[in-house]
Amino acid sequence: MDMDVTDTFETPNGLRFPRDRDFISRRTEKALTTEGYEDKETRAVVQLLRRDDRVLELGSGIGYMSTLMARRRPLEAIETYEANPRLLPFIRAVHALNERTEIASHNAILSEGGGDPVPFYIRRDFLASSLCREDDPDTIVETVEVPQIDIAAVTARLKPTFLVCDIEGAEAHLLPAADLSHLRAAVVELHPQWIGQDGVQAVFDAFHRAGLTYFPKVSHAKVVCFKKGF
């Protein structure tokens, strides 16, 4: 479904967004217009992304990062996957507003082997929506069924060279199951409050098995970067 975009605003790096309070609060708009939105992840992506990368983004958010990457470099391909179906019309409106027709956006959960649709828990703070009911169950406002896609099929087809991942704790299970061998760099936001030490270690081990090393130069706290050949 297309959104009617009439009232918009622009960020300092030239990205345009609909001023829609269902998706962008005043606080988020202020962060976007003062370069405070996802600032650590943004700095890492800007420094690591390269021309002609094939980008896989897990967790689309409000469409900010995919739009930024597509504007920043001419990419061979860019695909973004978002589990929350309520976000997809807004994400696509952001892409259209910024004339980013090259971005392929999908409503799906990538998993090991795919399978039947799974419940996804939408919370009052949509950025905290996730597959985990146990995390703040009192904040859940809706439960929806979301299709699963085998991550092996996606990586075999796309052969991504650059990964951005912010999936609210699912990184601990998904990344170890993925073929990361085509990657030359990755930016991952960890959620240790949910995945614990074992989950964090599983993420690091997955990248190390694929030949990528932790890259401290552009990592910061929970935003961790991995790279080949530095």
Going by C-beta distance under 8 Å and a sequence separation of 6 or more, which residues neighbour residue 68? 13, 15, 42, 45, 46
pLDDT at 133: 85
User: Element (H or E) spanning 198, and its range?
Assistant: helix 192-209
pLDDT at 126: 73
Please name the residue that has the structure tokens 């949910």: 194
pLDDT at 128: 74
How many Cα neighbours within 13 Å face the side chain of 4?
Answer: 0
Could you give the C-alpha distances from 122 to 5, 125, 139, in angstroms and in order?
24, 8, 8
In a domain, 194, yes or no: yes
In a domain, 30, yes or no: no
In a domain, 5, yes or no: no
Number of structural domains (the chain) is 1
pLDDT at 2: 56
pTM, full prediction: 0.92
Please name the residue that has the structure tokens 């146990």: 134
pLDDT at 132: 77
pLDDT at 150: 97
In a domain, 31, yes or no: no
Question: What domain range includes position 108?
Answer: 38-227
In a domain, 202, yes or no: yes
Dihedral (CA of 26, 67, 37, 22) sign: positive
In a domain, 10, yes or no: no
CB-CB contact of 206 with 175 (8 Å): yes
In a domain, 19, yes or no: no
Q: What are phi and psi of 219, to 5 degrees?
A: -80, 155
**CATH, residue 85:** 3.40.50.150
User: Mean pLDDT, 10 residues at a time, over the chain (230 residues)?
Assistant: 76 96 94 95 97 98 98 98 93 98 97 93 80 84 95 97 94 96 98 95 98 98 95
In a domain, 137, yes or no: yes
